[in-house]
Amino acid sequence: MSAYDAGLFWFRRDLRDEDNAGLHQAARACRRLHCAFVFDSAILEALPRADRRVEFIHRSVGELRESLRQRGGGLHVVHDDATAAIPRLAHELGVDAVFANGDYEPYARQRDAAVEQALREHGRRLHLAKDQALFEKDEIVSRSGRPFAIFTPYRNAWRAALDDFHVEAYPPPDARVLVADKGGLPSLPELGFEATDLSRQALPCGMSGGRAQLEAFASRIDDYAEARDFPARPGVSRLSVHNRFGTVSIRAAARLARASRGGGASTWLDEIAWRDFFFQVLWHHPRVVHEAFRHEHADLDWPGDERLFAAWCEGRTGYPLVDAGMRELLSTGFMHNRVRMVVASFLTKDLLVDWRQGERFFARHLLDYDLAANNGNWQWAASTGCDAQPYFRIFNPEKQSERFDPQGEYIRRHAPELARVPARYIHAPSRMPLHEQQAAGCVIGRDYPAPVVEHATQRAKALALFRRARD
DNA sequence: TTTTGAGTTGTTCGA
DNA sequence: GTCGAACAACTCAAA
């Protein structure tokens, strides 16, 4: 009943051998199945030599390889340009077909098209399965058959579809099908990378790490709706990096939400719907990678300069919640979601810097960086996107700080120079009288910067910028 | 077919 | 102090 004698499963952003749609499909279609992972030199070349993500992937691939070996199989690990490596490996192993899980990013689509073309020249096929998303491409469309451009109706249709959707886990591949690997796992230095501080971050890698995070979140999910906006609290799932690299299956996340059924689970399910929504937006509109989704905001002339952008990058804008967020990003590779919104709003609406600069900075530093979600959310914050925030809805960084970090716990954790600032000044330390600054060991202009811009003034400028674009 | 209402994440202003 | 309105424009679904 197997369609092929031998096949090759190519792992990409799905680093697990449990509940993996494409792997399951491949194992059923082949009598013998090889597995491979490619450290794609086309991607790695562009990265700095110390990169937490590469280390996360490296460790997760190592664990995946061990797990496959325990099942009687293995994982070929190659360091090369994937476009060349996969067709070559398919040839060397003498397989009839290659299997993988689909990817919605323009680079990945191009790469897969090139691989498919090269395979076809030798009579081999490439089969792509749906695994990253619960629903993809044209699975959720409006009544007119067009892709949704507004989240809420998308979400309603998505949830209705989920009610009828089979989210059982795909069983792991049958041991009799898997074939052992040859060759080793290249070390991080062999790939051209240095070790990072990843082991000091409270972030378990691999399938085992993903499982632990998911279980830990299961005990907090009922409080998610209330707790998720407070960055000092353990309210959010912290599963984003595992969803990014597939060390947790998105179907496992959906099963957890379904099993919980409370308000927290429902709110969290909406976040999963946002993820699918942005995958779908990117799939249908790849141009959003480079330009505003809304044409009338495509040519906004953002006046923000390099000095302001640098202050934002380094977390020294003089707005404590913004600075704490940027420092969290730099020191951990993560930033709490509420704070992501605050710093994104601040960069675009207060510093008036082009959202693409912020997007690129996040892309470089976020461990959980995902093109679709990052782009979608930046365009949301900048009011340029698909179902974006209205341009006049501008976050006040001080107000957000008072609401979501009232005692400044989060601020103090990430901006230690503010640790001794009294709570009544923690959201606007420059208003502290000098003697209190001295008592707190935080003199404005010496230990902590004065605000680089004034919110009210910049808000008015942002409104004018958008008004001009509309006229 | 047309109309109507509602829409992730907010702030400011004036009564 | 609290409250509602205003801040646009467009998509989508329901009436």
Q: A369-414: per-residue pLDDT in tens? A: 999 999 999 999 999 988 888 888 899 999 999 999 999 999 999 9
Question: Does pLDDT of A266 surpass 80?
Answer: yes
Q: What Å value separates CA A293 and C1' C7?
A: 22
First to last CA, chain A: 64
Q: How confident is the model at residue A121 (pLDDT cuts 50, 70, 90)?
A: very high
Is residue A359 annotated as a catalytic residue, yes or no?
A: no
Q: Is the CB of A142 under 7 A from strand C?
A: yes
Q: How confident is the model at residue A237 (pLDDT cuts 50, 70, 90)?
A: very high
Is residue A158 annotated as a catalytic residue, yes or no?
A: no
Q: What CATH number was assigned to the domain covering residues A295-470?
A: 1.10.579.10
Active-site annotation holder among A10, A158, A378, A380: A378
Question: Does pLDDT of A471 surpass 80?
Answer: no
Q: Is the CB of A341 under 7 A from strand B?
A: yes
Active-site annotation holder among A18, A55, A63, A271: A271
Q: Is the CB of A395 under 7 A from strand C?
A: no
Residue A390 in tokens: 């209205």
Closest nucleotide to A228, Cα to C1': B9
Is residue A226 annotated as a catalytic residue, yes or no?
A: no
Is residue A18 annotated as a catalytic residue, yes or no?
A: no
Active-site annotation holder among A302, A398, A402, A436: A302
Residue A315 in tokens: 């977390």
- A30: Cβ contacts below 8 Å, ≥ 6 apart: A2, A3, A4, A5, A6, A7, A95, A96, A97, A177
> Who among residues 210-239 of A has its Cβ near strand C, under 7 Å?
none
The stretches of A297-443 forming alpha helices (DSSP H) are 306-314, 320-332, 337-345, 355-365, 371-382, 397-404, 409-414, 434-439
Q: Is the CB of A148 under 7 A from strand C?
A: yes
Summarize the confidence of residues A153-159 as an average pLDDT.
91
Report how far apart, in Å, the C-alpha atoms of A214 and of each of A102, A254, A257, A338 are: 24, 11, 11, 21
Q: Is the CB of A469 under 7 A from strand C?
A: no
- pLDDT tens figures, A241-252: 999 999 999 999
Mean pLDDT, chain A, whole residue set: 94
Q: Is the CB of A276 under 7 A from strand B?
A: no
> For residue A157, how far is the Cα from the chain centroid?
24
Identify the pLDDT of residue A24.
97
Q: So what CATH class is A133-169+205-284?
A: mainly alpha
Q: What Å value separates CA A470 and C1' C9?
A: 11
Q: So what CATH class is A4-131?
A: alpha beta
For A228, phi then psi, to 5°, come to: -65, -20
Concatenate the DSSP letters of all residues of A86-108 into one string: HHHHHHHHT-SEEEEE---SHHH
Identify the pLDDT of residue A278.
94
Contact A226, A265 (CB under 8 A): no
Is residue A271 annotated as a catalytic residue, yes or no?
A: yes
Enter the DSSP assignment of A171.
P
Residue A134 in tokens: 């619960």
Global pTM reads 0.96
Domain coordinates of chain A in residue numbers?
4-131, 133-169+205-284, 295-470
Contact A178, A33 (CB under 8 A): yes
Q: What Å value separates CA A386 and C1' C15?
A: 27
Q: Tell which phi-psi region holds residue A16, choosing left (phi > 0), alpha (psi between -120 and 50) or beta.
A: beta
Q: Is the CB of A281 under 7 A from strand C?
A: no
Question: Does pLDDT of A470 surpass 90?
Answer: no
Residue A100 in tokens: 């993988």
Contact A335, A236 (CB under 8 A): no
Count other Cβ atoms within 10 Å, centred on residue A443: 14
Residue A366 DSSP SS3: coil
Is residue A355 annotated as a catalytic residue, yes or no?
A: yes
Summarize the confidence of residues A49-53 as an average pLDDT.
96
